[in-house]
């Protein structure tokens, strides 16, 4: 792991609403080839905005005010994502960087069969394939994520939440992208299904060698699957370290607070838990402002 597959330099994004919201502020990140990078943060911290910026999906009023995102392909050329437009952008998306969206299980079209939705990817990006070839590839895709091939004819409502999620992952993997962005891919699923999906992702990564940006608020989950973790707050990355260091020696107070928000399943009963002592617990969301983050950092 030497050359990064994706590097984000000084990226800032504003939402030009009634008052301008600085959603992402001068974020710099590199994603190594084949790495799982966790992005942790609470609602409103800018993690999804960052993901949408990487895939160039932001629409006005969002605006990239500074910085750039560079994708370095396996084949040895670099692409500056902000320079892409029109057909080039269309060809680039999904082929090199694919995304599993938040609430992915509800992002399938309910009136189309699974096969039609998967084949659509190939129709757009691999128009040279024949119909029979597309069929075969879609079948292989489903089997790769552990869904039976004959489910191709099913409609989304005939599948369970976990299966729909797998179909979405299959769709993202259709063109063997080098980067996969997953925005809260397991949030609406229960623990058992979540575990299956996570194992599936780790297995597929080993098989296909793509890099993953895994976005969630569930820090224990990230600690378990990712190589490095970035903690985000108020548009800033407040801490970035490998999983072990982040867990054992968190530097930023916010990271410590996030870690302490998850009681351990098997460890000691923490004193803060169910003490009924309300002086020590926080009931209000502290406002996510840049000043607040700076205050904490001191």
Partner 1 sequence: MSVLEMRDVVMEYRLREGLRTTRLRAVDKVSFELPPGRTIALVGQSGSGKSTIAKLLMQLERPTSGSILVDGEPMQYRGARAAAYRKAVQMVFQDPFGSLNPYHTIGHHLARPVKLHHPDFSREQVADRVAELLRRVRLDEDYVGRKPHELSGGQRQRVAIARALAPEPAILVADEPVSMLDVSIRLGVLNLLAALQREENLGVLYITHDLATARHFSDEIMVLYHGAVVEHGPADDVILNPQHEYTQLLAEAAPAPERRLAELGH
DSSP-derived 3-state class of residue 277: coil
Q: Are strands 211-216 and 78-80 parallel, antiparallel or unpaired?
A: unpaired
Closest to partner 1 by CB, 110 or 276 = 276
What residues between 196 and 225 interact with partner 1 by CB under 8 A?
217-221, 223-225
Member of 59, 76, 267, 298 binding partner 1 (CB under 8 A): 267
Residues 227-266 that bind partner 1 (CB under 8 A): 243-244, 247-248, 257-258, 260-266
What is the distance of C-alpha 82 from the center of its chain? 20
CA neighbor of 66 nearest in space, from 19, 17, 27: 27
Alpha-carbon distance 179 to 31, whole Å?
A: 9
**Interface with partner 1: number of residues (CB under 8 A):** 46
The only residue of 85, 285, 291, 298 in contact with partner 1, by rule CB under 8 A: 285
From 297, 216, 286, select the one nearest 255 (Cα to Cα).
297
Q: Is 146 in the site for partner 1 (CB under 8 A)?
A: no
Find the shortest distance in angstroms from Cβ 267 to partner 1.
Answer: 7
Of the listed pieces 80-88, 97-105, 141-149, 189-197, which binds partner 1 according to CB under 8 A?
189-197
The residue among 154 and 175 lying less far from partner 1, judged by its C-beta, is 154
Nearer to partner 1, 109 or 275 (CB): 275
Report the C-alpha gap between 106 and 261 in whole angstroms. 29
Residues 158-177, mask of contacts with partner 1 (x by CB under 8 A): ---x----------------
Query: Contacting partner 1 (CB under 8 A), which of 193, 205, 208, 296?
Result: 193
Q: Find out whether 27 and 8 touch, Cβ atoms under 8 Å.
A: yes
32 binds partner 1 (CB under 8 A): no
Work out how close the CB of 127 gets to partner 1 at its nearest, in angstroms, rounded to a whole number: 40
C-alpha 187/C-alpha 103 separation (Å) is 8
Tell me: does residue 84 bind partner 1 (CB under 8 A).
Answer: no
Residue 289: CB atoms within 10 A of its CB come to: 13
From the list 178, 214, 232, the residue with the least C-alpha distance to 43 is: 232
**Which among 190, 149, 188, 194 is positioned nearest to 167, based on CA atoms?**
149
The answer to the question of residue 298 lying near partner 1 (CB under 8 A) is: no
Taking the least distance from each CB to partner 1, the nearer of 134 and 228 is 228
If one asks whether residue 72 binds partner 1 (CB under 8 A), the answer comes out as no
The pair phi, psi for residue 73, each rounded to 5°, is: -75, 155
Q: Omega of the bond prior to 61 within 30 degrees of 0, cis? A: yes
For partner 1, the binding residues (CB under 8 A) are 42-43, 161, 189-195, 217-221, 223-225, 243-244, 247-248, 257-258, 260-267, 269-270, 272-278, 281-285
């Amino acid at each position: 792991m030497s050359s990064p597959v994706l590097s984000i330099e000084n990226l800032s994004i504003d939402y030009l609403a009634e008052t301008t919201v600085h959603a992402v502020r001068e974020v710099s990140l590199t994603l190594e080839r084949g790495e799982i990078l966790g992005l942790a943060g609470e609602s409103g911290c800018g993690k999804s905005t960052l993901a949408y910026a990487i895939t160039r999906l932001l629409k006005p009023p969002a605006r990239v005010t500074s910085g750039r995102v560079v994708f370095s392909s396996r084949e040895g050329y670099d692409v500056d994502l902000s320079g892409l437009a029109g057909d080039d952008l269309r060809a680039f998306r999904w082929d090199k960087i694919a995304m599993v969206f938040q609430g992915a299980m509800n992002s399938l079209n309910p009136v189309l069969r699974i096969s039609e939705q998967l084949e659509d990817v190939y129709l757009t990006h691999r128009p040279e394939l024949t119909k029979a070839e597309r069929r075969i590839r879609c079948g292989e895709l489903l089997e790769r994520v552990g869904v039976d091939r004959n489910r191709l004819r099913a409609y989304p409502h005939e599948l369970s939440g976990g299966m729909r999620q797998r179909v979405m992952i299959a769709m993202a993997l259709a063109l063997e992208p080098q980067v996969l962005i997953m925005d809260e891919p397991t949030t609406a699923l229960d623990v058992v299904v979540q575990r299956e999906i996570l194992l599936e992702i780790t297995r597929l990564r080993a098989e296909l060698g793509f890099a993953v940006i895994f976005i969630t608020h569930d820090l224990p989950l990230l600690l378990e699957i990712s190589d490095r973790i970035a903690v985000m707050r108020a548009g800033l990355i407040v801490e970035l370290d490998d999983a072990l260091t982040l867990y054992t020696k968190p530097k930023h107070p916010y990271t410590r607070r996030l870690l302490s928000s998850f009681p351990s399943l098997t460890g000691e009963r923490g004193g803060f838990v169910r003490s009924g002592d309300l002086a020590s617990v926080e009931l209000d969301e502290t406002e996510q402002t840049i000043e607040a983050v700076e205050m904490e950092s001191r």
